Amino acid sequence: MSDTALKITDVSVRYRLSREKPKTLQEYLIHRLKGKKTSYEDFWALKDVNLEVGKGETLGIIGSNGAGKSTLLKVVAGVLKPTKGNVSVSGKIAPLIELGAGFDMELTGSENIYLNASILGLSKREIDNKFQAIVDFSELGGFIYSPLKTYSSGMIARLGFSIATEVDPDILIIDEILAVGDEHFKKKSKERISRFREKGVTMLFVSHAMEDVSRLCNSVLWMDRGSPRMCGGPVAITTEYLKAMV
């Protein structure tokens, strides 16, 4: 147990789509009074997923759109509570799911660092300590004291990436965003991810870029229509996947 970073047991996620679901409070009350039963359709975004990831491992997750990759990440990140099954995680999770979540355009870069980092669960003291490193990595310089609405989209992305990777997580979740910005920044980002691997950070990496996946991951999980279809070595699985896509 001590060298498992993440263990998912029999996890299923069901979205219940009611056909005539009362969307307003009034309709709901009338429904209840009339004793009507709503008919519904179940959509299982994840079906009986079992997964174990060891510490320091990099797991790649591939699959076509709608296969359940993002849903799986949400379950791991604690965003979605599974309909069935259990998730056990050891350590702090940082999602690189859409950088700059919670950025407010009216606030300055520096204010947004505190806001964003606190969203990721850091305390004030931790943020104070990391502040300079975040600013340096983002290469924003004096712009850090300007409001975000004056930033270009590239600057915003760099700031987001910089904050998320400074968090120092035990488990890093990367959803299709490996590197942003120009060539120089992309290189820095890839170096940072490599350093995470060296530090023994566990990583979950969702991507459609097979070359990145086979290069970076220890093992790969192929999700298909909510269930794991195949799991194994990166080269083997990505090859199978590409074959099936033809």
Whole-angstrom distance, CA of residue 239 vs CA of residue 192: 27
Q: Which is closer to another protein, CB of 56 or CB of 85?
A: 85
Q: Which is closer to another protein, CB of 111 or CB of 240?
A: 111
Q: Which is closer to another protein, CB of 89 or CB of 221?
A: 89
Q: How far is the CB of 74 from another protein (least distance, A)?
A: 8
Q: How far is the CB of 232 from another protein (least distance, A)?
A: 29
Q: Which is closer to another protein, CB of 9 or CB of 218?
A: 9
Q: Which of residues 104-133 bind another protein (CB under 8 A)?
A: 104, 106-107, 111, 114-115, 118-124, 127
DSSP 52-121: EEETT-EEEEE--TTSSHHHHHHHHHTSS--SEEEEEE-S-EEE-SSTTTT--TTSBHHHHHHHHHHHTT
**Sheet-wide strand order for 40-54:** 40-54, 4-18, 84-89
Whole-angstrom distance, CA of residue 95 vs CA of residue 203: 10
DSSP 3: T
Q: Which is closer to another protein, CB of 87 or CB of 210?
A: 87
Residues binding another protein: number (CB under 8 A): 34
Q: Which is closer to another protein, CB of 9 or CB of 219?
A: 9
Phi, psi of 42 (to 5 degrees): -100, 135
- Residue 81 C-alpha from the chain's centroid: 15
| Three-class secondary structure of residue 174 per DSSP | strand
Whole-angstrom distance, CA of residue 7 vs CA of residue 245: 29
Q: Which of residues 2-61 bind another protein (CB under 8 A)?
A: 15-16, 22-26, 28
Q: How far is the CB of 66 from another protein (least distance, A)?
A: 17
Q: Which structure tokens are listed for 12?
A: 């299923």
The single residue among 11, 67, 77, 171 that binds another protein, judged by CB under 8 A, is 77
Q: Which is closer to another protein, CB of 6 or CB of 237?
A: 6
Q: How far is the CB of 8 from another protein (least distance, A)?
A: 13
Q: Which residues have C-beta within 8 Å of that of residue 62, sequence separation ≥ 6? A: 69, 206, 207, 208, 210, 213, 220, 221, 222, 223, 237, 238, 241
Q: How many residues make up the chain in this entry?
A: 246
The single residue among 79, 133, 236, 244 that binds another protein, judged by CB under 8 A, is 79
Q: How far is the CB of 147 from another protein (least distance, A)?
A: 8
Whole-angstrom distance, CA of residue 110 vs CA of residue 145: 6
Q: How far is the CB of 126 from another protein (least distance, A)?
A: 9
Q: How far is the CB of 31 from another protein (least distance, A)?
A: 12
Q: Which residues bind another protein (CB under 8 A)?
A: 15-16, 22-26, 28, 74, 77-81, 93, 95, 97-98, 101-102, 104, 106-107, 111, 114-115, 118-124, 127
